[in-house]
Amino acid sequence: MLKIENLHVNVEGREVLHDLNLHIKEGETHVLMGPNGSGKTTLLRAAMGFSGYDVTEGRIFFKGRDVTELPMHERARYGMGIMFQRPPTISGLKLGKLLQALSGAERKVIEEYAKKMHMDDFLDRDVNSGFSGGEIKRSEVLQLMIQQPDFVMLDEPESGVDLENISLIGKSIAMLVEKDRHIINRHKSGLIITHTGYILDYIDADAGHMLCDGEIKCDGNPREILKVIQEKGYQECIRCQKIL
Ligand SMILES: Nc1ncnc2c1ncn2[C@@H]1O[C@H](COP(=O)(O)OP(=O)(O)OP(=O)(O)O)[C@@H](O)[C@H]1O
């Protein structure tokens, strides 16, 4: 689904990602962990094609096609979707209208989806305007549910979300990446940034990666990586990777 080879990314003239390699197969969901400022969001944004995230070396392949030079809207059309860590407020644009524009679906269908995410009362409000942290996350997941991308990138979906809503968001993301289906019938994939690992209670991730100083320092079982980080810190995770 996504193959990243020897990726180097500059942000504001500084190299943030160095020689990064990542391979996520169709039907797989991976989690990405790492300390603050290590480059996790940069990786998602570069993969999605945001401007300001300059690929200076390396290639990004999506569904077998080299998308390194493709603009973001074409990557989205081709099946990539992203959930922001801190999405902007869009004054003057109602959430319902945005969902209609994203999907072309009728209002009735949008209302049904919105109900599932407990967002039906938000359709006539400006996107993210005055939304709480948890409401913003539910709105982001709702936008992805409407778009149904083949590959979702989620930036800290559980941060700022209360326990009840983590369950709702976790289960919805599991459906987005088809974790409810048997592996042979699963065609969607995902990459999820997490600090706490709560999302792993809902999504049985296939692999985990620890990013530090712009490089992936460890690949392995996500729960094992998380355990080492929680108990001994990131440096120990880098050191002990052989046992994961
Ligand atoms: N637009 C930008 N302008 C300047 N520096 C940036 C910009 N975007 C990212 N950076 C820098 O790149 C580095 C990596 O940032 P990034 O947001 O990718 O980290 P992260 O691993 O997602 O962190 P966190 O866990 O805190 O969300 C940081 O030092 C950050 O300050």
Q: Is 39 in the pocket of ligand 1 (CB under 6 A)?
A: yes
Ligand 1 mutation target, pool 9, 16, 212, most atoms within 8 A of CB: 16
Atom of ligand 1 nearest to the CA of 34: 21
Single out the residue of 10, 136, 120, 14 nearest to residue 83, CA to CA: 136
Q: Whose CA is nearest to atom 31 of ligand 1?
A: 37
pLDDT, residue 241, reads: 59
- Mean pLDDT is lowest, of 113-117, 140-144, 204-208, 234-238, for 234-238
Residue ranges per structural domain of the chain: 2-85+152-243
Burial of 56 (0-12, 13-18, 19+ CB in 10 A): exposed
Quote the pTM value. Answer: 0.91
- Mean pLDDT is lowest, of 14-23, 69-78, 112-121, 227-236, for 227-236
- 140 in Cβ contact with 184 (< 8 Å): no
Q: Which value does ipTM take for this structure?
A: 0.95
* Ligand 1 center to 227 CA (angstroms): 24
Ligand 1 mutation target, pool 18, 38, 193, 195, most atoms within 8 A of CB: 38
For the stretch 10-67, pLDDT in tens is 999 999 999 999 999 999 999 999 999 999 999 999 999 999 999 999 999 999 999 9
Q: Which two tokens stand for residue 97?
A: 């209208």
CA separation, residue 128 to residues 31, 35, 94, 158, 233 (Å): 26, 27, 9, 17, 35
* Ligand 1 center to 47 CA (angstroms): 15
The verdict on domain 2-85+152-243 having CATH code 3.40.50.720 is: no
